[in-house]
């Protein structure tokens, strides 16, 4: 049994599909603060398998212990947390509470239940301003915002835990920019309010929910002046978690790996690829740079290939086609039903 915190969210729901398809039993633990139970019903529809679902908060030790005990889990994939960079600057304590205290509480509950396998959702944001590219896992770490600081703090916590007890099996996965949706079009990213991230914003322009895209900056030192990122299909990312679980099964360890493609695309590359996928123009205007943005970053994915025997396979066209299928079939996300 795999216990998935935040399993109703964007990456969690796609990972649940792959776990169920691979024959695992799955318990989802989520407080639905940024997701809807409908996502889990759709995971069951896609896979024709049942999930166990427990509503609860990772910050509540008693709830966590009880949920882990009744689930009979032997491993945890830990997605639950808050993820909006701007919001984290406005509400730092909420981010420390959910991301740091929440993870601490989860680890305490795991320890008391004798569960010592965890895969943690970290982020490329822990590398901060690039000193060199592509980012390897050995790149210096320096978060530039509160959200990133919470991820870095949890990484330190996990290393300290492993140093104290080398019987733990810990996988720290640093995601680059997840985009795309399940090929069925039944699950996908469903941001609340105005999307912060590029791909959901572009998709909402395409479906008519927004008039035009603001391209934040066209004067960066990049081939076309717009920001460059390593976009990774969410299904590839989900499969990276299964690969990490497999690897962790072989021996106790604390591993860290980038999950990215190694390819950088600019904002304009993304707009053009999306126009191809949805067969309509995406109106956009150039606007000043967004505070805190970095010109360009992308992953060195070699270590993940070596350690996990995993690499991203889905290309940019597939990322855009799958996002468009999800968005056009569910113009208002899960609230469309
Ligand atoms: P998401 O918001 O869609 O999913 C997070 C889930 O966790 C939601 O279902 C939410 O309801 C739940 N949750 C939040 N706080 C909780 C709490 N205290 N108790 C129980 N459940 C709680 O986010 P996502 O995009 O699926 O991201 C998953 C993880 O990956 C997060 O930890 C995020 O920081 C990390 N990450 C995301 C990205 C990205 O761009 N999406 C990139 C790098 C890392
Ligand atoms: C991508 C590019 C923008 C929106 C964030 C977090 C990071 C990680 C992934 C969690 C940039 C440009 C965007 C728009 C635009 N999350 N853009 N107009 O900033 O690379 O990463 O999400 O761990 O921590 O910081 O992703 O999708 O916001 O931006 O021009 O309306 O698109 O300037 O160049 P980012 P993003």
What ipTM goes with this model? 0.99
- How confident is the model over 220-270, as pLDDT tens digits? 999 999 999 999 999 999 999 999 999 999 999 999 999 999 999 999 999
pTM over 0.90: yes
Spatial neighbors of 192 by CB under 8 A, at least 6 apart, are 34
- How confident is the model over 171-221, as pLDDT tens digits? 999 999 999 999 999 999 999 999 999 999 999 999 999 999 999 999 999
- How confident is the model over 31-74, as pLDDT tens digits? 999 999 999 999 999 999 999 999 999 999 999 999 999 999 99
Query: Does residue 267's CB lie within 6 angstroms of at least one atom of ligand 2?
Result: yes
What is the reported pLDDT for 76?
Answer: 98
Name the residues annotated as catalytic.
147
Cis peptide bond upstream of 134, omega within 30: yes
- How confident is the model over 81-140, as pLDDT tens digits? 999 999 999 999 999 999 999 999 999 999 999 999 999 999 999 999 999 999 999 999
Ligand 2 atom at minimal distance to the Cα of residue 177: 9
What is the reported pLDDT for 336?
Answer: 76
In this predicted structure, the answer to whether residue 18 has a pLDDT above a threshold of 80 is yes
What is the reported pLDDT for 328?
Answer: 98
CA dist 221 to 40, 65, 114, 217, 295, Å? Answer: 42, 50, 50, 11, 7
Count the residues in the chain: 337
Closest among 262, 271, 263 to 300, alpha carbons compared: 262
Ligand 1 atom at minimal distance to the Cα of residue 11: 26
Query: Does residue 260's CB lie within 6 angstroms of at least one atom of ligand 2?
Result: no
- How confident is the model over 265-311, as pLDDT tens digits? 999 999 999 999 999 999 999 999 999 999 999 999 999 999 999 99
What CATH number was assigned to the domain covering residues 2-181+231-262+298-313?
3.40.50.720
Q: Are 180 and 235 in contact (CB under 8 A)?
A: yes
CA distance 21 to 105: 30
Report residues whose beta carbon is within 6 angstroms of any ligand 1 atom.
6, 8-12, 30-35, 57-59, 79-83, 98, 102, 121, 123, 175, 178
CA distance 31 to 81: 10
- How confident is the model over 123-168, as pLDDT tens digits? 999 999 999 999 999 999 999 999 999 999 999 999 999 999 999 9
What is the reported pLDDT for 337?
Answer: 67
């Amino acid at each position: 049994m795999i216990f998935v915190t935040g399993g109703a969210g964007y990456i969690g729901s796609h990972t649940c599909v792959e776990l169920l398809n691979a024959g695992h039993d799955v318990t989802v633990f989520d407080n639905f603060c940024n997701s809807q139970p409908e996502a889990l019903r759709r995971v069951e529809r896609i896979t024709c398998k049942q999930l166990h679902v427990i509503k609860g908060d990772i910050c509540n030790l008693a709830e966590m212990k009880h949920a882990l005990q009744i689930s009979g889990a032997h491993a945890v994939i830990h997605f639950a947390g808050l993820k909006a960079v701007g919001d984290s600057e406005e509400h730092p304590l909420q981010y420390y509470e959910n991301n740091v205290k929440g993870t601490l509480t989860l680890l305490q509950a795991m320890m008391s239940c004798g569960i010592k396998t965890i895969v943690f959702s970290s982020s490329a944001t822990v590398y901060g301003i690039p000193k060199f590219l592509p980012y390897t896992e050995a790149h210096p770490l320096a978060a530039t915002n509160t959200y990133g600081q919470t991820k870095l703090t949890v990484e330190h916590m996990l290393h300290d835990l492993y140093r104290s007890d080398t019987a733990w099996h810990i996988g720290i996965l640093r995601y680059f920019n997840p985009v795309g949706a399940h090929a069925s079009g039944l699950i996908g990213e469903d941001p609340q309010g105005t999307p912060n991230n590029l791909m959901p914003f572009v998709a909402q322009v395409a479906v008519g929910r927004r008039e035009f895209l603001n391209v934040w900056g066209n004067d960066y030192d990049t081939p076309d002046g717009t920001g460059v990122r390593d976009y990774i299909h969410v299904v590839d990312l989900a499969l990276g978690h299964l690969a990490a679980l497999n690897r962790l099964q072989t021996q106790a360890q604390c591993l860290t790996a980038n999950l990215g493609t190694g390819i950088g695309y600019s904002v304009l590359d993304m707009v053009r690829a999306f126009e191809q996928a949805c067969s309509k123009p995406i109106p956009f205007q150039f606007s000043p740079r967004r505070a805190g943005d970095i010109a360009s970053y992308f992953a060195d994915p070699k270590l993940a290939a070596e350690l996990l025997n995993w690499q991203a396979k889905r290309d940019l066209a597939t990322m855009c086609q799958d996002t468009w299928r999800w968005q056009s079939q569910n113009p208002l996300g899960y609230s469309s039903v």
